[in-house]
Amino acid sequence: MSNTTHVVHFSGGVGSWATAKLVHAAQHHGDTLVLLFADTLIEDQDTYRFLEAAAANVGAPLTRIAEGRTPWQVFKDEGFLANTRVDLCSRILKRDLLRNWLEANCDPATTVNYIGIDWTEIHRFQRARPRWEPWQLEAPLTETFMTKADLLKWATAEGLPEQRLYRMGMPHANCGGGCVKAGQGHFAKLLREFPERFGEWEQQEQEVRDHLGKDVAILRDRRGGDTTPMTLQQLRHRLDTQPDQLDLFDFGGCGCAID
């Protein structure tokens, strides 16, 4: 019987670390554990620091892969600014890259992939599973009732560093705290908690707009029943002048390697 290669999609979030801990505890003698990190090149420094500490804590080497471009470079090269509906950055820099690595290094018959989705988002796991065929995809945290708070307490008890993005209350630790799938509420929080990072996203979005010569934006303005682009600059100005005209409960969500 062939030994199994266990590939944990190690995103830098606490969920993928907890998943790796569960997989490591359950693997059999002779199996191989791979912590596979697809780097967008715009992660927060604390996330890179956490990745190294988390891999050491699990007891397996960190395998880092990168396409070579940032999301902003991808948008310019592809002639399209990603948004909630079309996340070509996630597809190119995450999903395609991860699948290419698997095809080059693993056999679907003896490989199991794992993602850090928990029981509160089991619908995302169920949606992703058939899309990864012929690769087997599992999400051990969907079989537990641990919350994000539980996972963070576990990581702290293991001596892992707390990521500042989590400390700021951000819903994930990907892409430096921003995300093309995030909503108005998410970016409003990013501006409030991490204005320097918001400024970077605002500048990069404008550079892509200038490069494409189009009125495009990450966010959408749905006031009055019509949908129009809303730039991060416009969001910042409206937060100062018309905050009641924004949907501050719209956080959106990053699918990255699965959606």
Which residue has 């991808």 as its token pair?
A: 74
Q: How far apart are CA 168 and CA 199, in angstroms?
A: 17
* pLDDT score of 245 more than 60: yes
End-to-end CA distance of the chain: 33
- Reported residue count of the chain is 259
Per the prediction, the chain carries an average pLDDT of: 92
DSSP structure string for 23-48: HHHHPPTT-EEEEEEE--S---HHHH
Helix, strand or coil, per DSSP, at residue 258: coil
pLDDT score at 250? 66
Q: Are 121 and 145 a contacting pair, CB within 8 Å?
A: no
Helix residue ranges per DSSP H, 106-255: 122-128, 148-157, 164-167, 184-193, 195-212, 232-241
When pLDDT is averaged across residues 124-147 and rounded to a whole number, the result is 94
Phi, psi of 5 (to 5 degrees): -100, 120
Q: How far apart are CA 120 and CA 69, in angstroms?
A: 32
Q: What percent of the chain is predicted at pLDDT more than 70?
A: 93
Q: Give residue-wise pLDDT tens across range 205-235.
A: 999 999 999 999 999 888 777 888 999 999 9
Maximum CA extent, the chain: 66
Q: Which residues contact 134 (CB under 8 A, 6 or more apart)?
A: 108
pLDDT score at 242? 81
Q: How far apart are CA 49 and CA 93, in angstroms?
A: 20
Q: How confident is the model at residue 59 (pLDDT cuts 50, 70, 90)?
A: very high
Q: How far apart are CA 167 and CA 224, in angstroms?
A: 36
When pLDDT is averaged across residues 72-85 and rounded to a whole number, the result is 94
Sign of CA dihedral 192, 193, 199, 200: negative
135, two tokens: 């690769």
* pLDDT score of 255 more than 60: no
* Structural domains of the chain sorted by starting position, each given as residue range(s) with its CATH number in brackets: 5-164 (3.40.50.620), 176-245 (no CATH)
Q: Give residue-wise pLDDT tens across range 26-53.
A: 999 899 999 999 999 999 999 999 999 9
pLDDT score at 1? 44
Strand 111-114 versus strand 136-138 pairing type:
parallel
Q: Give residue-wise pLDDT tens across range 79-109.
A: 999 988 889 999 999 999 999 999 999 999 9
Q: How far apart are CA 112 and CA 135, in angstroms?
A: 7
pLDDT score at 253? 61
More confident residue, 198 or 245: 198
Total Cβ atoms within 10 A of residue 237: 11
Q: Which residues contact 101 (CB under 8 A, 6 or more apart)?
A: 36, 65
* pLDDT score of 240 more than 90: no
Helix, strand or coil, per DSSP, at residue 230: strand
51, two tokens: 């990745």
Picking from 52-66, 135-149, 214-228, which range would have the lowest pLDDT averaged per residue? 214-228
Query: Structure pTM?
Result: 0.91
